[in-house]
Amino acid sequence: MTNKPVVWITRALSNAILERAGQKYELITNPEDAPRSADEIIAMSAKVDAIVPCHSERFDADVAAKLDSRLKIVANYSVGVDHCDIPALKQRGVVVTNTPDVLSDATAEIALLLMLGAARRAVEGDRMMRTASWKFWSPSFMVGKQVSGQPLGIIGMGRVGQTMARFSRGLGMQIHYYNRNKLTPDLEHGATYHDTIESLLGVADFLSLHCPAKPETISLMNAERFALLPDGAILINTARGALVDETALMGALDSGRLSAAGLDCFVTEPGGNPALAKYDNVFMLPHIGSATDQTRDAMGYRALDNLDAFFAGKSPKDSL
Ligand code: 8YV
């Protein structure tokens, strides 16, 4: 018989995280790492005090309504919480937390990789080398778009957006941003604030998305907004696929409004959008923004910090 709270960790997290969690909690784990269904979440809520889910487990209003009252906290292993209906969970008395800060560097690294890879034609070059089809050189061979010194527009100047700005300043880029609120000068570091997305788009030769997916940001980049970008602009998305209307994206690539794109997120995940595969100027990765050992562990420890605070009777640092 144990008095430890019972915690369900829905996906296979690292041994270091499980070891730390096991010291304070009775764990139910998922070594086979299968995503868990709504029915499994509902059934498990009667057996556990806490769940540590990934964005692969959905807590929508329907699931929230059916949760057992034993479940007290959903301590997400993610910064994005679009898989959770937070008002519905709160209404059921469930505390919800996330893992901000710890994945900003890793995610901004992937944004930088996508920006450089899209601009400098990484997909075409890599394919050429793998298929032994590099037979020719000329001054106009594989000419891409220079990144250094160019304007970078950032939508969503939270932690990841600010880190992307910091990394990009290292390339001499001029940072412009749109955010719900203007940042204070010590956080802006000379970046230019735009109070509308439309105003930002007009100067965004490079555009990187770093805002959460919410009802008001779904298809934020639609045909009308792509049309406001400078000709030959490059879009980077490491935030959420739902921010981009993928049909409009392909229209902008076809018209040349966009010269390239770098995408780590898609409307449909896993899987992505097979129609994008024909575009050699789209550099794509399978949602790996936070996928480094260091960051994965840090996300787990942050989720555990939130659990520890909650079970010590305190308000978790990352309560939403
Ligand atoms: C994670 C993410 O891989 O944390 C987020 O919001 O998008 C990713 O970096 C995933 O969500 C982990 O659950």
Domain positions in the chain are 6-102+293-311, 104-284
Q: Compute, in angstroms, the gap from residue 30 CA to the centroid of ligand 1.
A: 18
**DSSP for 88-119, written as a single string:** HHHHTT-EEE---STTHHHHHHHHHHHHHHHH
pLDDT of res. 1: 52
Catalytic residues, by residue number, are 240, 269, 287
Q: Ligand 1 centroid to 81 CA: how many Å?
A: 9
In a mutational test of the pocket of ligand 1, which residue from 78, 159, 243, 287 has the highest number of ligand atoms less than 8 Å from its CB? Answer: 78
What is the model's pLDDT at position 308?
A: 98
Q: What is the mean pLDDT of residues 103-116?
A: 98
Cα–Cα distance for residue pair 136/118, rounded to 1 Å: 22
> What is the 170 CA–ligand 1 centroid distance (Å)?
26
Within 13 Å and on the Cβ side, how many CA atoms surround 192? 16
77: three-class secondary structure by DSSP: coil
Residues in the chain: 320
Tokens of 163: 């880190």
Contact 11, 83 (CB under 8 A): no
Q: Inform me whether the pLDDT recorded for 297 exceeds 70.
A: yes
**CA separation for the pair 132, 127 (Å, rounded):** 8
CATH placement of domain 6-102+293-311:
3.40.50.720
Residue 232 to residue 181: CA distance in whole angstroms = 29
Using CB distances shorter than 6 Å, the residues near ligand 1 are 54-55, 77-80, 103, 289-290
Nearest to 73 by CA among 8, 137, 154: 8
Q: Which of 290, 297, 318 to mutate to test the pocket of ligand 1 (most atoms within 8 A of CB)?
A: 290
Tokens 């769940």 identify what position? 51
Residue 185's pLDDT band (cuts 50, 70, 90): very high
- Contact present, 265 and 237 (Cβ < 8 Å): yes
Percent of the chain with pLDDT over 90: 99
**Max Cα–Cα distance, the chain, nearest Å:** 75
Work out the pLDDT band at 111, boundaries 50, 70, 90.
Answer: very high
| CATH class of this structure's domain 104-284 | alpha beta
